Structure 1
Amino acid sequence: MKLWLREATAPSLALFASASTLVCCALPALLITLGAGAVMAGLTANIPGLIWLTAHKKELFIISGIMLLLAALVKWLNRNAPCPIDPKLAKACTFWRRAGTIILSIAAICYLVGGFFAFFAADLLL
């Protein structure tokens, strides 16, 4: 199996799912806070999926959380997988392991920021 496929696919999918939580909940809050309500209105008029994501945010967070946990599980199970003996492939293996960990960390941060704005920010900040 290709190294990048084994080490970075699950974290990349988790990042994609976690980024959708930012689009759902953090982006509208940011735009409204900055006084860009007209921009937000334009986005909702031109991107109808944004309203759908906001209306189904609980399901979105559940699916994103499951994907994040599965990606973390895959990273955990592959943590001691051997890298090839060839120095060039071993370097690539180390790079992709580190890249996968960074991608997974960014996905977790996106998920937490989206969760804060979706469920806690309105109660705390208003």
Structure 2
Amino acid sequence: MIGAGSVLASLLSWLPAIVVLSQHKLMVFGIAGVSLLVAGFVLQQSSRMPCSLDPALARRCRQRLSQGRKLYALSCTAFMIGGFYAFILPILQQSA
């Protein structure tokens, strides 16, 4: 962890808004969570829609749906990891 303080200082000098985001993390995670719920609903609705009758377009449609599901799963995973580090880990560290 040598140099972590200087890395954090450099990061804060380049992006001072990170401090504001960390002060309002409940609101940031709330908005992100609602956005993920809406995106999941839209993804679910779009997966029920039929793809084109043209074989090439139908293949591309299925590929895009698959990519969308994978990206959504990755986004949800990142959200859960971030929520763990932002909310759960500090409580675990206080009790230890």
Which structure has more RCO (C-alpha within 8 Å, separation ≥ 6)?
Answer: 1
Match of 1:54 among 18, 22, 37: 22
1:42 aligns with 2:10: yes
Q: Report the TM-score when normalising by structure 2.
A: 0.90
Tell me the equivalent position of 2:40: 72
CA distance in 2, matches of 1:102, 1:125: 32
Match of 1:123 among 76, 91, 94: 91
CA distance in 1, matches of 2:55, 2:9: 54
1:78 alignment partner, SS class: helix
Count how many residue pairs are aligned between Structure 1 and Structure 2.
93
If you compute each CA radius of gyration, which structure gives the higher value, 1 or 2?
A: 2
2:49 alignment partner, SS class: coil
CA distance in 2, matches of 1:37, 1:118: 19
Q: Percent identity?
A: 32
The residue type equivalent to 1:67 in the other structure is: S
Unpaired stretches in structure 1, ≥5 consecutive residues: 1-33
1:88 aligns with 2:56: yes
